[in-house]
Amino acid sequence: MDLTHLGNLADLEKRPDYHANYYDAADCVNLNHANSSTGNFYVRKGAQRSRERMRVVVAERTAATEREISAAQWKLDRLREVAAEIESTKNLNEVVL
């Protein structure tokens, strides 16, 4: 069995899991596991929020939101095409919703 020293609990502060978005990975200890998947997240005492980590999180969320907007725009365009087909097609059996 290999053991890895993650830190002393006396040197860590228990935090909500979402605080991982604010701190460098080196300042975080995540002890969540399959039988206890939340509430086991710690941050090193005295750790400062990481500007770089927060930039990465915002960039990831921005990219995800842009993908969602793109997908929604594609769906909207397709629905407008279908609406036009309904109005212009004599045989409604040819229209796919």
| Residue 93 DSSP code | G
Each residue's pLDDT, cut to its tens digit, for the chain (97 residues) gives: 898 888 899 999 999 999 999 999 999 999 999 999 999 999 999 999 999 999 999 999 999 999 999 999 999 999 999 999 999 988 999 999 9
* pTM of the model as a whole: 0.79
Task: Give me the count of residues in the chain.
Answer: 97
Residues forming beta bridges with residue 12, ordered by sequence position: 44
How many CB atoms within 10 Å of residue 27? 21
User: In the prediction, which pLDDT does 4 show?
Assistant: 86
Q: pLDDT tens for residues 65-83?
A: 999 999 999 999 999 999 9
